[in-house]
A and B are shown apart, each in its own frame.
Chain A
Amino acid sequence: MIELVNIKKSFGDKVILPEVSAVMETGKVNLIIGSSGSGKTVMMKCMVGLMEADSGKVLYEGKDFTGMQERDRKEIRREIGMLFQGSALFDSMTVEQNVMFPLNMFGDGTLREKKKRVMECLERVQLKDAAKKFPAEISGGMKKRVGIARAIVLNPKYLFCDEPNSGLDPQTSLLIDKLIKELTQEFNITTVINTHDMNTVMESGDHIVYMYRGRKQWEGSNKDIIFSKDEKLNDFIFASDFLREAKEIRQMEIFQQTDWRDKLKKD
């Protein structure tokens, strides 16, 4: 579990995060959503230590990451896997070398064991055949999957994904979402995704934090979002007529399910 306690961040006079608190739950896909400039990326960078918050705390299983010495931080960082928006693969290395890189840096074991682990991860993302290719030779979707393989190769406890669907076609995007969701559940990872993608929100969002102008505007699950009366959230999620119609249809479908009908009656 990752907790953010009163995180504040400014750049000069411009306040990006006035004061944010949130909890990222273990074994769930936690989404941070919001329009451009709402502070999602800054919030994620503060969580992983790529940016220092002006005040507040980031707690990993209760341990204060913000107040730690760099040496102690490294211990936690080794439990973090991160998928970057542009994949951030090392250009000079093959797919196999990219995935093996964290193992070479921190992993124990022989070269044979490392190669075996790399192949397991590449198989998991269905890219075993691309092992000898360079990043420039593979597609954007494949790069993202290599990024996921590299992020999970050390069996991380925390997985951060910065806009994993950006620039991908809908099918590949769904494939990436499915993969992240499966990995989260299979290995009980605390996954945090920063996204604009509405498919991800509706399909994977076990726990969603909606950011508006640097503040946490709304929090809930993908099921709650359908019935949310928060205007700002609805304007953001269901921005087009098509999506508003789709929301109504989905509301009706969920309403027909007994448990939800009962729950709503109770509410």
Chain B
Amino acid sequence: MYWKEFMLQCVDIGVGSLGIVLIISIFMGGVTTLQISYQLVSPIIPKATIAQVVRDTIILEFAPTLTCIVLAGVVGSKIASELGNMRVSEQIDALEIMGINTKGYLIGPKILSALIMIPCLIAIAGFLGIWGGLEAGSLAGILSPEEFMQGLRQEFKAYNIFFALFKSFVFAFIIASVPSYYGYNVQGGALEIGKASTTAVVVTCVLILFMDYILAALLLN
């Protein structure tokens, strides 16, 4: 049953959020390319540098942080309202009466599946963001795909990938655990579920931004 619940959560968190991740990451990459090209107007800077900056911006910041902020809204509110509804409608009490460890059964699989699925989503977001940047640069006539590919290979640091994935694990834990806490401890009715859901998303976003700063300070300096 725990395995089944875990798989259901993987589908919910991973597959369920794939659509929004696809959309935001493609546009995120496209907009980044356009804005960087707008700022790098000097003739002495090669066009391939645009792709280099797009690559690093997306890998280091946009793919993990922006995607996780969006996931905090999508996944976090869902987790908080689902658990809140279960609490208010006595479904959690029903599980406890059966002798089931409700935290282990309801929260455990959510955290575990988030730790697995969110880094995968971040990796997808990174690829699609860069691809979006390539397409936007090509469509706008800023730089050709060849120039973009050349820029992607310039001064590539594998450590940046590690940093992005490390951040995604930390953010994934926050995205699953904070809303679970607020949802699990709801007391009252529908109004309180709404409040818990909103508070959970706000706290999750603030914690993500705070941890983003802390991790950048610790791991990039």
Contact = CB atoms under 8 A, between A and B. Distances in A.
Contacts of B97: 48, 50, 77, 80, 82, 160
A86 B98 contact: no
Task: Rank and list the top 10 A-B pairs by shortest CB-CB distance, nearest first.
Answer: A77-B99, A74-B99, A88-B90, A88-B94, A84-B90, A82-B97, A88-B91, A78-B99, A104-B1, A86-B89
A58 to B, nearest CB: 14
A85 interface: yes
Contacts of A106: 98-99
Q: Is the interface of A mostly helix, strand, loop or mixed?
A: mixed
Contacts of A78: 98-99
Given A86-B89, A101-B1, A160-B97, 18 more contacts: A50-B96, A50-B97, A74-B99, A77-B98, A82-B97, A84-B93, A86-B90, A88-B91, A88-B93, A88-B94, A89-B91, A91-B85, A91-B89, A102-B98, A105-B98, A105-B100, A106-B98, A106-B99
A84 B88 CA distance: 12
A260 interface: no
B92 to A, nearest CB: 9
Interface of A: 48-50, 73-75, 77-78, 80, 82, 84-86, 88-91, 101-102, 104-106, 160
A189 to B, nearest CB: 15
A152 B93 CA distance: 17
A50 B98 contact: no
A6 to B, nearest CB: 24
A50 B93 contact: yes
Contacts of B100: 105
19 contacts: A49-B96, A50-B93, A50-B96, A73-B99, A74-B99, A78-B99, A82-B94, A82-B97, A84-B90, A85-B90, A86-B89, A86-B90, A90-B94, A91-B91, A101-B98, A102-B98, A105-B100, A106-B99, A160-B97
B81 to A, nearest CB: 12
Interface residues of B, number: 12
A105 B1 contact: yes
Interface string B82-112: 0001000111011011111000000000000
A84 B98 CA distance: 13
Contacts of A50: 93, 96-97
Interface of B: 1, 85, 89-91, 93-94, 96-100
B97 to A, nearest CB: 5
B42 to A, nearest CB: 57
Contacts of A91: 85, 89, 91
Nearest to A160: B97
Contacts of A84: 90, 93-94
Nearest to B8: A92
A73 B94 CA distance: 15
Nearest to B93: A50
A110 to B, nearest CB: 16
A93 to B, nearest CB: 10
Contacts of A74: 99
A74 B97 CA distance: 9
B58 to A, nearest CB: 36
Contacts of B93: 50, 84, 88
B184 to A, nearest CB: 15
A104 B93 CA distance: 18
A136 to B, nearest CB: 12
A106 to B, nearest CB: 7
Nearest to A71: B99
Nearest to A102: B98
Most buried by A among B1, B91, B98, B100: B98
Contacts of B99: 73-75, 77-78, 106
Contacts of A102: 98
Contacts of A90: 91, 94
A36 to B, nearest CB: 17
B106 to A, nearest CB: 11
Contacts of B85: 91
Contacts of B91: 88-91
